[in-house]
Structure 1
Amino acid sequence: MAQVVGITYYPVKGCAGISVGQAEVIPSGLLGDRVHAVADDNGDLRWQGADPRLALIVPEPRADGGLTLRAPGHEPVTTGAAAADADDGDADDAADRWLTRVLGRPSRLVRAVAGNESRLHVVSRASLDALNRRIAERGGRPLPMNRFRPNLVIDGWETPHTEDDTPLLTLPGTTLALARLTVRCAVTLVDQETGRRAGSEPLRTLADYRRAEGGVVFGAYFAVRRPGRVAVGDEVTGAG
């Protein structure tokens, strides 16, 4: 039986995720997922490929709509509820100054613009196990699932990459439709625990057997067909 074994959402795009036992699924994805982002002084969004220390920033949503941001070696900072709803999308100055210190470059907390982040990212354990076997054959160390920053982790599929070939996933509280495969980038090279690049894996190995139009792929994005809820332990039924 295939089932959900992990649920993670990312309040700030590019920053650390929050793992939960259950989550609300809204038309745009998991509630609270990638609502904010970090931008530079030109308004361009920062990403872990260029700013790997983003992985060390842990955002904690607050009941009033604000965030508490934490990072090793820095006192936490709290954004206000008004900042989360500001018309211009910018958070308050304290958070901006804090992000600038942590990342070492001018940075601002902004509201994220809907895009790929509005879909549910699904990866199966079978896919990761198959990848890690190939990496081990080259003498490398296995990689944790968080390198791929999924929203949902599914276990119980015998065949790797079943998520790539299943048009519809039905769960007790929601239904998801396959949108597209996930093209992987330099973010997968970042150790999510240290906030540093850590070698050439998994991209080196994925390039051997997971090439597709647009690059190498691993995991898949799913659009929400039926909003509702998802919980760890939910059975997952696939339809062709």
Structure 2
Amino acid sequence: MARISALYIYPVKSLAGFSLVSATLGPTGLRWRDKVADRQWVLATSSGRFITQRQLPQLAQIKTELTESALVLHHTEWASISIPYDYDPTEARQVTVWRDEIKGYDEGDSVAEWLAQACGKNDIRLIRFGTDSERPVSTKHLWQGESSEVAFADGYPILVANTASLEQFNRYLREHQLSPLSMNRFRANVVVTDWQPWQENATAELAEQHNRYQLGLRKPCERCPMITTDQQTGERPEQGLPLKALTEFDSLGDGSGAYFGQNAIIVRGQGELIEVGDELRVD
């Protein structure tokens, strides 16, 4: 059986996340203590266009913390700022993430000013996915009759990665005089070990051994320049070379591009606990 070796949640899209021992499987992905969802917040311009590390790699330096009552943002050069979980329902704002128009809620001017100082960019807002916000997953790669929801992640509620695949790719990088990458470059939610390299690309279902939950792997994850960003420093030490190497490595074996990890939905077990150490049946 495969086994979960790590779980990660990223409360704010493109800011730093953190590891968990366990999480709840919520409607839009992993949830911390059933209070905060993965990618529940997004950065956006005042016109509503989302902002990520693709444009601002320095966002990686903004750390996130979750308390019982608030999201807290930290930066080494600025005093931390706390954003209560309760929000103003009159501050509704449309946000565009790729082709999706999503109703969100603006966290206010003081948070926007803090972000502008922390990342050196004006016109940057923090937008929350509210209790009445909706964003269905595209059915293009789902099976017949399936449906799923996602917050501000790129397109799917869960990203699954395989440690053996990263080990093999890192050997390739070393052979080409490039630095190996840590798993945090790929910002996965569920990291699986005791799997053959790239077995995720031939897997449709991951089911917890006692059938408490089941994840459906539905689409390989195409990678972007974000994997070239050092998630500790916010710098791109080798520029686009790791991404170029992943394209040349051709993990899918069809020349289609740079892929690592699998986008997944929750097929069964919403509300269940997912934990590090869970053993998974691979179908």
TM value normalised by structure 2: 0.79
RMSD between aligned alpha carbons? 1.9
Q: Which moved more, 1:108-117 or 1:173-182?
A: 108-117
In structure 1, C-alpha distance between the alignment counterparts of 2:43 and 2:220, rounded to whole Å: 25
Q: Which amino acid aligns with 2:113?
A: R
Moved more, 186-195 or 19-28: 19-28
Question: Identity of counterpart residues, as a percentage?
Answer: 32
Q: Give me the whole-angstrom Cα distance separating, in 2, the residues matched to 1:117 and 1:7.
A: 19
Which residue of structure 1 aligns with residue 3 of structure 2? 3
For residues 97-124 of structure 1, give each alpha carbon's deviation from its aligned partner in whole angstroms, at most 9, with x where no partner exists: 1001111112110025636454210010
Which residue is 1:98 aligned to?
Answer: 114
Matches within 5 A, 1:1-240: 1-31=1-31, 32-64=37-69, 66-83=70-87, 87-88=91-92, 89-106=105-122, 107-112=124-129, 114=151, 116-157=154-195, 159-171=196-208, 172=210, 173-199=212-238, 200-210=240-250, 215-226=257-268, 227=270, 228-239=272-283
| 1:140 counterpart letter in structure 2 | L
Greater mean alpha carbon deviation, residues 114-123 or residues 102-111? 114-123
Q: Distance in 2 between matches of 1:197 and 1:30?
A: 28
The one-letter code of the counterpart of 2:22 is Q
Unmatched 5+ residue regions in structure 2?
Answer: 32-36, 93-104, 130-134, 136-150
Q: CA shift at 1:178, angstroms?
A: 1.2
What is the TM-score with the length of structure 1 in the denominator? 0.92
| 1:79–1:94 contact (8 Å) kept in structure 2 | no
Q: Which has the higher contact order (CA 8 A, sep 6+)?
A: 1
CA contact (8 A) 1:125 1:154 kept: yes
Counterparts of 1:148 and 1:201, CA distance in 2: 15
The worse-fitting range, judged by mean Cα deviation, of 127-136 and 42-51 is 42-51
Map of 2:145 onto structure 1: none
CA distance in 1, matches of 2:256, 2:157: 18
Is the contact made by 1:84 and 1:111 (CA closer than 8 Å) also made in structure 2? no
Change (3 A) 1:14 1:86: farther
Distance 1:169 1:62 in 2: 31
1:51-94 deviations in Å (ceiling 9; x for gaps):
01111111222323x31110111110111333376651100322
Kept in 2, the 8 Å contact 1:8–1:151? The answer is yes
State the AA in 2 paired with 1:202.
P
In structure 2, C-alpha distance between the alignment counterparts of 1:175 and 1:202, rounded to whole Å: 32
Q: What is the CA–CA distance in structure 2 between the aligned matches of 1:85 and 1:233, rounded to whole Å?
A: 39
Q: CA 1:84 to 1:174, structure 2 compared with 1: closer, same or farther past 3 Å?
A: farther
Instruction: Extract structure 1 runs of 4+ deviating beyond 4 A.
Output: 84-87, 211-214
Q: Hey, what's the Cα distance between the residues in 2 that align with 1:55 and 1:100?
A: 14
Stretches of structure 1 lacking an aligned partner (at least 5 in a row): none
Corresponding pairs, count: 237
8 A contact 1:4–1:153 mirrored in 2:
yes
- C-alpha contact 2:159 2:190 (8 A) present in aligned 1: yes
